[in-house]
Structure 1
Amino acid sequence: MTCPICNAETAKAYRPFCSRRCADVDLGRWITGGYAVPSTDPADAEEAADALERETERPDRPN
């Protein structure tokens, strides 16, 4: 198995990494959002979701 950061052979103590350094590099990427998956949602998706929720909560609307 190779280290996902530098492709060196892994060390049992740090598996799946080869060293503490590579483990810290990986942690830093997680913390800073380096592994974030890009969203295809529109920027106003939160507003649209809120509007839909308000619309479904209206008492004059049949379920």
Structure 2
Amino acid sequence: MACPICDRKSADGYRPFCSKRCADVDLAKWMGGSYAIPSQNPDDFDELLDAMQKASEGADTDDEDGNSPPRLS
């Protein structure tokens, strides 16, 4: 079986990849959204905008107990 990243022969310890490097490259693609399938459903876009707006509004406000969110340095 060939490695899906570089086409070298896959290694038993990293199957289907040939090395930890190629496995990490694949993981980074998943985490970065490179493998995402774009949606053509307009409702998905509206839901995303609503979620982003709620997240940005909530990021600057206190929680129910009156505590401010932690600040990153």
- Pairwise same-fold verdict (TM > 0.5): yes
Structure 1 segments (4+ residues) deviating >6 Å: none
Report the Cα distance in structure 1 between the residues aligned to 2:36 and 2:20, rounded to whole angstroms.
23
Residue in structure 2 matched with residue 22 of structure 1 by the alignment: 22
**% identical aligned pairs:** 62
Q: Which amino acid aligns with 2:9?
A: E
Residue in structure 2 matched with residue 60 of structure 1 by the alignment: none
Coordinate RMSD, CA, aligned: 0.9
Asked which structure has the greater CA Rg, the reply is 1
Q: Aligned residues, how many? A: 45
TM normalised by structure 1 equals 0.67
Residue in structure 2 matched with residue 40 of structure 1 by the alignment: 40
TM normalised by structure 2 equals 0.58
Flag structure 1 segments of 5+ consecutive residues without an equivalent. 47-63
Instruction: For residues 5-40 of structure 1, give each alpha carbon's deviation from its aligned partner in whole angstroms, at most 9, with x where no partner exists.
Output: 001000001000000000000000010111000111
Flag structure 2 segments of 5+ consecutive residues without an equivalent. 48-73
